[in-house]
Amino acid sequence: MARYHVPPRQAASPHNQQVESSTRRIYRIRSFVLDRLPYIIAFYIALIFAILVISLELHRDSSMPNFSNLLYIIVLATAVIFGWLAWDYARQRSYYRQVADMLAADKPTSLSMVSVRDGVTREQLAMQHLLEQQHKAFADELADYRRQREQHLHFTNQWVHHMKTPVSVIDLLLQQEQASQRQGTDEEEAEDLAFRSSVREELERISRGLEMMLHTARLDHFNMDVRIERVSLLPLIRDMINSHKKACIRTSIFPRVDGSDTVVETDAKWLTFILGQFMTNAIKYSKNKPGSKTLLFKVTPESNGGCSLSVTDQGIGIAEHDLPRVFDPFFTGENGRLIEESTGMGLYLAREVCRRLGHDLAIESELGVGTTITIYFHNSAIHQGLFL
């Protein structure tokens, strides 16, 4: 049976740390002098030419140059050039220090770039002005983008809530029609039952699609829509199974819960959504297999003090080469060619929610046999994963 474990977020690599360390050495005195090395070389070349001209003039007058005077000229010129370099560095030191601090920051922002002040030269002042203009243009564009995004999310939430109303009304009408059903022939009753079952199945698909769309929109504001508390797993699993019982009966799937009740730190609403995606996939990819199928929910204590919750179906399974990509958005793989209603978003959303809650996720599957998805709860990691 092929197995794939969702990798955790990677920490900073040693290469990145070396690059960060190298940036801290930028704009020290050595760098300042190296930037002006061509000027220093040009200065000494000009000084050598001046000494040669003086020596040639003295040689023409048949007099030997005084080497002490020449040495004095060199020392004096050296003192002048390095004095000027020291003064130039001193007046620009504050500017260089701000640039070095910004480069040494873990994540330099556009605001930190604009905060680089104390420019002295015309080039530095022009660069400051350019950065300020660029930051203003970036801030205006970002504000427009955020405003449009908020409007889109608001529209999405409103649209989903509005669409839930007709779905509920249609379901209520079906219940009323079933309650007031008149007696007919066996064939008419069978056709009527098949029609209602088909309508209910399509209603459930619409409802699941709306729920997925709503949770996708809420994922962008996860920090404001999460409540961490101690949750009993078994009652939550049973409530979730009851909400899917009609689909299970229609597809001859019999859920079973194993393990003792365990309390974990999580968000009950988001965990219900995750398990709902697992159960929806199990129903979707098991309904075409003949005969009765078992859907097993198993709670297992872990040696590190946490626990795991696995969901095992008896569906068509997943090809081994598709396993590493099943958590990618919109990826449906080979099963997507067999099941038209595959969206490739359910497991992606489950992975994103698990990461934010600090839970680990793993999947193993055997083609033609079934699939097992496991959530690992680590109470010590709940706050590390939260808000990522």
3-state secondary structure of 49: helix
CA angle, 338 then 341 then 347, to 5°: 95
User: Is residue 333 within 8 Å of residue 348, measured between CB atoms?
Assistant: no
Rounded CA gap, 105 and 247, in Å? 54
Domain presence at residue 185: no
How is residue 130 written in tokens? 């350019």
Kindly indicate the confidence band of residue 109, based on its pLDDT and cuts at 50, 70 and 90: low
Domain presence at residue 290: yes
The answer for 259, left when phi > 0, alpha when psi is -120 to 50, beta otherwise, is left
Mean pLDDT across the stretch 208-220?
Answer: 80
3-state secondary structure of 255: strand
pLDDT score, position 111: 57
End-to-end C-alpha distance for the chain, whole angstroms: 32
Mean pLDDT across the stretch 90-106?
Answer: 77
* Beta-carbon count within 10 A of 107 CB: 5
pLDDT score, position 190: 72
**Among the three residues 120, 142, 162, which one is the final residue of a domain in this structure?**
120
pLDDT score, position 347: 92
- Position 12, amino acid: A
**Among the three residues 94, 120, 146, which one is the final residue of a domain in this structure?**
120
Domain hosting 377: range is: 227-385
pLDDT score, position 145: 84
* Beta-carbon count within 10 A of 200 CB: 17
> What are the two backbone dihedrals, phi and then psi, of residue 312, each rounded to the nearest 5 degrees?
-115, 125
Domain presence at residue 45: yes
Domain presence at residue 160: no
Ranking 92-101, 110-119, 246-255, 322-331 by mean pLDDT, the lowest is: 110-119
**Among the three residues 60, 94, 120, which one is the final residue of a domain in this structure?**
120
User: Is residue 371 within 8 Å of residue 364, measured between CB atoms?
Assistant: yes
User: Is residue 66 within 8 Å of residue 55, measured between CB atoms?
Assistant: no
pLDDT score, position 253: 93
pLDDT tens for 289-298 read: 888 999 999 9
- Write down the H helix ranges in 302-381: 333-338, 346-357
% of the chain exceeding 70 in pLDDT? 81
Domain presence at residue 376: yes
pLDDT score, position 197: 74
pLDDT score, position 19: 44
The CATH code of the domain that includes 271 is 3.30.565.10
Q: Which of 233, 281, 271 is nearest to 358 (CA)?
A: 271
Domain presence at residue 181: no
pLDDT score, position 22: 47
Whether 103 and 235 map to the same domain: the answer is: no
Kindly indicate the confidence band of residue 234, based on its pLDDT and cuts at 50, 70 and 90: very high
CA angle, 20 then 388 then 100, to 5°: 20
pLDDT score, position 62: 64
Q: Would you give the distance in Å from CA 128 to the centre of its chain?
A: 32
Q: Tally the domains of the chain.
A: 2
Whether 113 and 261 map to the same domain: the answer is: no
pLDDT tens for 298-335 read: 999 888 878 999 999 999 999 999 999 999 988 888 88
* Beta-carbon count within 10 A of 94 CB: 14
Whether 238 and 90 map to the same domain: the answer is: no
Domain presence at residue 162: no
Domain presence at residue 201: no
pLDDT tens for 56-91 read: 767 766 666 677 777 877 888 888 888 888 888 888
pLDDT tens for 134-186 read: 888 888 888 888 887 777 777 677 777 767 777 777 777 777 776 666 566 66
Kindly indicate the confidence band of residue 384, based on its pLDDT and cuts at 50, 70 and 90: very low
